[in-house]
A and B are shown apart, each in its own frame.
Chain A
Amino acid sequence: MDLNQTYFFYGYSAAWLIVLGFILILIRRGQQINSELQRLKALVEDKDK
């Protein structure tokens, strides 16, 4: 592979990696939000009792 093709590969890989990175951030954030939501719901139920 010449330099031209190598950098073309880098460019396309970078694009896929950026999207993949964002998806991983979304998954991680979603897990944090869900666990916080469950914790707060349990706290509210406890307080109501």
Chain B
Amino acid sequence: MRDKTIYTLGISGTLLLLYNLHTILMVLPDEAAQGTIGKMLLIHAPAAIAGMTLYFVAVAYSIMFLKTKNFAYDSAAVAVIEVAQVFTLINLVTGSIWGHIIWGIWWTWDARLTRQFMCFMLYLGYLLMRPALNEATQRATISAFVAIFAAADIPLVWLAIRVHDARTQHPGPVLETGTLDPAWRIPFLISWIAFMLIGSALAMVRVRQENARREIDSLRRELHAI
């Protein structure tokens, strides 16, 4: 049953992405000012939003762990954070390539880019810290606090281009301001949905691995006791 769900989510997400790729390449006209590279928006921004959504899901799991001490929530949190890191990396890499053409630079330490990079580094720290903690309850508790603390950066990433005096080279918001062409809205939404479907499938696989790892820990303890 679970295998079927993983395959259904993964395959439907991939098919949606392929359908969207066809729309982006063959149907949508190029962006008026930027040309073809402007279409990078349709993968760059949905990847960022998918990453942020998953970080908040991980925060919810972390809070649930702290409340219940149920390790299933810890497994879910680490799985979701790892997948969110993949989407954040896609956001950073595609943004860098886009910036190279439009700004003439690969990177700049402006408000939004720096905060998004900080977000990536904070959660990378979360993932690197976990293997260093041997005791399961201590590992899960500290990880939950780190996940919640690191999430404080996400609203700052979101706000970085909305604060009037923010020093940023990044363009302003396009979704809620009505400056995004209506024809671009559906492919934008499809990209986000496809990322969430693929992300859910990957997170489910990762949860299964985390549960197996916990079984390995208990078998090791059992062997040690024998």
Listed in ascending order, the chain A residues whose CB lies under 8 Å from chain B are 3-5, 7-8, 10-12, 14-15, 18-19, 22-23, 26, 29-30, 33-34, 36-37, 40-41, 43-44, 47-48
Given the known inter-chain contacts A8-B37, A26-B205, A44-B222, please indicate yes or no for A18 contacting B90, CB distance below 8 A: yes
Q: Are A26 and B40 in contact (CB under 8 A)?
A: no
Contact of A36 among B34, B36, B94, B216 (CB under 8 A): B216
Q: Are B40 and A8 in contact (CB under 8 A)?
A: yes
Q: Are B101 and A7 in contact (CB under 8 A)?
A: yes
Count residues of chain B with CB under 8 A from any CB of chain A: 35
**B47 to chain A: which residues have CB within 8 Å?**
15
Q: Are A43 and B35 in contact (CB under 8 A)?
A: no
| Interface CB pairs A-B, < 8 A, 18 | A5-B36, A7-B100, A7-B101, A8-B36, A8-B39, A12-B94, A18-B86, A19-B198, A22-B83, A26-B205, A29-B209, A30-B208, A30-B209, A33-B212, A34-B212, A40-B219, A40-B220, A44-B222
Given the known inter-chain contacts A7-B101, A12-B21, A40-B220, please indicate yes or no for A18 contacting B202, CB distance below 8 A: no
Listed in ascending order, the chain B residues whose CB lies under 8 Å from chain A are 21, 34-37, 39-40, 43-44, 47, 83, 86, 89-90, 93-94, 97-98, 100-101, 198, 202, 205-206, 208-209, 212-213, 215-216, 219-220, 222-223, 226
Q: What are the nearest 3 A-B pairs in CB distance?
A: A40-B219, A11-B97, A11-B94
Q: Are A22 and B202 in contact (CB under 8 A)?
A: yes
Contact of A10 among B44, B97, B226 (CB under 8 A): B97
Closest chain-A Cβ to B117's Cβ sits at a distance in Å of 16
Closest chain-B Cβ to A20's Cβ sits at a distance in Å of 10
**B40 to chain A: which residues have CB within 8 Å?**
8, 11-12
**B83 to chain A: which residues have CB within 8 Å?**
22
**B86 to chain A: which residues have CB within 8 Å?**
18-19, 22
Nearest chain-A residue to B21 (Cβ)? A12
**A3 to chain B: which residues have CB within 8 Å?**
101
Bound-state Cα–Cα, A31 to B86, Å = 21
